[in-house]
Structures are given as C-alpha cells and as structure tokens.
Amino acid sequence: MKLLEVKNLKVFFPIKDKLFGKPTKFVKAVNNVSFEVEKGEIFSIVGESGSGKSTIALALMGIHERNGGSIIFNGAEVNQEDFKTLRRKIQIVFQDPDSSLDPRKRIKEIIAEGLRVHRVGDKAFIDEKVRDIVEKVGLTVDTLRKYPHELSGGQKQRVGIARALVLEPELIILDEPTASLDVSIQAQILNLLVDLQEALGLTYILITHDLKLVEHISDRTLVMYLGKVMEMGETKQIMNKPLHPYTKALIDSVPVPNPEKRNENEEILTGEIPSPLNPPEGCPFKTRCKYRMELCSKEPKSIKLENRVVFCHLYESKNLEV
Ligand SMILES: Nc1ncnc2c1ncn2[C@@H]1O[C@H](COP(=O)(O)OP(=O)(O)OP(=O)(O)O)[C@@H](O)[C@H]1O
Ligand SMILES: [Mg+2]
C-alpha cells in the first residue's frame, strides 16, 4: 500500500541581489521530483552534496513551502496548512543531534515535548510512554534526568530517534542519521534503526551519501542530481546494473580498499558539480557525462525501463547499450 506519493515537487529558493533587493534568481533545489513510498519499506534518496535531498525532507515536513507539485499522504492531498496535524505522522531524525537537541532541556522533556504539543494523554501516560521509548532505543531510564551535554554522540542520536518514535509516526525521515557519529557507533545506531523498523513495522525515507548502507538496508532508491531525478527503482537492481551514467559513476566512486584493483570500466566521478544557480540546460549531468550528445541539451523524458524509471537520452534514442 502506498503511504506517500510525491508528484512533480518543486522547491525554489529566491536569491536576492542586494540585502533587500528583489529576488533575481532562484536555486531550483528540487525540480519536478516524483516518487512513491510504500508502507513498511525503506526508501533511500542518494546523490552528491547539494542535490536537494534535505530540501525534499523539509518540504515533506512542511518546513519548506513548495513552489509546485503535490504531496499525498495516506491517499489524501496535503496542503501547507495540513502540516500542523501531519507533524505527528511524519517525523525526522537529523544528522547532527548536537544542534537538534535543546541543550537547556532534560532528555525527558525533549522526548516528551511532541506528546505535550499534540496533547497526547495525561502526565502519567506521558511518563509511561517516555520510559518505554527510552528503553526501546537502548538507553536506561536514568538518562531521562540528564542534559544533552552529559551524553555521548551515539546516546544523543538515540534520544533523537526516541523523540521521533514517541509520537508513533507513520513515516520517519532519516537525514544522514549516522554521518556525524564515530564509525564504531554508526553500526550500532543503524542496527537499532533496522531492528525498530522490523519490530514496529515502520516506514523510512533514508537520506544518505553512503551507498554501501543503501545497498545493505533499503528496498528502493531514488538517485538525484542538481534537484532532479536521474534514476529510481529497486535498490538491488540499481546497484547491480545502474542505467543512468550518473548512477554508475556514483557507484564506481565509492572508495575501495585497494584502488589499484579498480576495473577499467569504472567511471569515477570527475569535475565539479555546476553551480545550482546556473545549472546546465536539459540534462543537468551533461557537463560531466562521457556519453554526452547533442540531444542532452533537451530535457530528458521519464523512461520506464527494466522495472525502473530513468531520465536519460541514451535510452530514449536507444543509441547505446550500457
Ligand atoms: N534555505 C535555503 N536557501 C537558499 N538555498 C538553499 C536553502 N537550502 C538549500 N539551499 C540550496 O538548495 C540546494 C539543495 O540543498 P540541500 O540541502 O537540499 O542538498 P542535500 O542534497 O541535502 O546536500 P547535502 O548532501 O550536502 O546535505 C543547494 O544548492 C543548497 O545550497
Ligand atoms: Mg542534506
């Protein structure tokens, strides 16, 4: 069953010339992005820095107003004013627990805040719920008395997860949930997230740079570049046989223990990402793509191929087998 449908989502940020000048340009951070998330799945969004991943997350939370497109949650169209009530159902875990946890509040207050804001139950109910959730994320009840600075990075991220889970949301967005943690702690937090997903039947949108992680835990993947979709489909298929040259380059660019053993067919990403203020016309990847052809100055269409969606002229013209 579909939990979320995003259709032609657009989020543009105005750039002002002078301090109070009129916006003259826009960063098209998310430009015509469509995808669906099934109940109970882990759906990944990957792409280099600045591709628009977090902007999608913030638009789904209602934090960024969208400039176009629709968001349908549980079959119902979501307007900007609906986000107040939807906040309970869609929660987010941010990358950096240090900046997302209020340093002046005790852990108990931080976790209970959502329940209070949404007036869920009386004090006894909230106390019970908070104790229950803190144990579910692998912390002891005495953590509740502490302040964020008294906890380790991993413990703080567990609090971030508890805070998201306490409202029993239907969708949890994980925006680089382990990127700020020590490598040794990353695996623990990931295992916790996977265990919770299985035990509670949760649905995740996982935003990450880490393709190994995506391959390991996610069902389907959306590959983004400069605000646009490049390819989307089942994670296994995408990883085993990427269709879009960008996806292939992204996969080939994952560091390997022994770089000398790289296969000569690998296409490591080179060159800079163009400025988002002045993206290439047509396919945004054309300036870095070795298959570039004249057609690429035109907007690629959405092509359904091998059980996935790919935006690339190579398949439109069928000039080349990749
Ligand atoms: N509030 C904002 N105002 C202006 N531009 C913004 C704003 N937020 C994001 N952008 C721009 O939108 C584009 C997409 O940013 P976004 O943070 O969504 O990328 P990302 O894929 O999450 O990158 P990262 O992997 O570095 O987190 C970037 O060019 C960024 O500079
Ligand atoms: Mg981001």
Q: Domain residue spans in the chain?
A: 2-89+169-246
Residue 180 has what pLDDT?
87
- Distance CA(117)–CA(91), nearest Å, equals 14
- Distance CA(218)–CA(209), nearest Å, equals 13
Residue from 27, 48, 60, 223 to probe ligand 1 pocket by mutation (most atoms less than 8 Å from CB): 27
**Which of these ranges, 27-31, 231-235, 317-321, has the smallest mean pLDDT?**
317-321
Which residue bears the tokens 């106390």?
A: 127
Q: In what order do the strands lie in the sheet with 203-207?
A: 90-93, 171-175, 203-207, 42-46, 220-225, 228-234, 308-310, 303-305
Residues around ion ligand 2, judged by CB within 5 A, are 54
Taking the CA of 27 as reference, the closest ligand is: 1
How would you label 122-144 residue by residue, b for 16+ Cβ within 10 Å and e otherwise?
Answer: eeeebeebbeebbebbbbeeebb
Residue 317: pLDDT band by 50, 70, 90 thresholds?
low
Kindly tell me if the per-residue pLDDT of 23 is higher than 90: no
Q: What is the mean pLDDT of the chain?
A: 91
222 or 181, greater pLDDT: 222
Q: Fold for domain 2-89+169-246? A: Rossmann fold (3.40.50)
Query: Once rounded to an integer, what is the mean pLDDT over residues 59-74?
Result: 96
- Distance CA(24)–CA(268), nearest Å, equals 35
Report which protein residue has its CA nearest ligand 1's atom 28. 50
- Distance CA(22)–CA(168), nearest Å, equals 43
Residue 15: pLDDT band by 50, 70, 90 thresholds?
confident
Segment holding 73, helix H or strand E: strand 68-73
Residues with CB under 6 A from ligand 1: 13, 27, 29, 47, 49-55, 276
Residue 318: pLDDT band by 50, 70, 90 thresholds?
low
Residue 321 has what pLDDT?
47
269 and 249 Cβ atoms separated by less than 8 Å = yes
Residue 126 alpha carbon to ligand 2 centre in Å: 32
> What would the pLDDT profile of 84-109 be if each residue is shown by its tens digit?
888 889 999 998 888 889 999 999 99
Closest approach atom of ligand 1 to CA 64 = 1
Report which protein residue has its CA nearest ligand 1's atom 27. 49
Residue from 54, 65, 176, 206 to probe ligand 1 pocket by mutation (most atoms less than 8 Å from CB): 54
Reported residue count of the chain is 322
Kindly tell me if the per-residue pLDDT of 320 is higher than 50: no
Residue 50 alpha carbon to ligand 2 centre in Å: 7
Q: In this structure, are strands 203-207 and 42-46 parallel, antiparallel, or unpaired?
A: parallel
Report which protein residue has its CA nearest ligand 1's atom 7. 13
- Closest by CA to 39, choosing from 76, 91, 2, is 2
Helix axes of 153-165 and 123-136: crossing angle, nearest 10 degrees:
130
The percent of residues in the chain predicted with pLDDT above 70, rounded, is 95
Residue 133 alpha carbon to ligand 1 centre in Å: 32
Report which protein residue has its CA nearest ligand 1's atom 5. 13
Highest mean pLDDT (candidates 46-50, 303-307, 317-321): 46-50
Residue 256 alpha carbon to ligand 2 centre in Å: 24
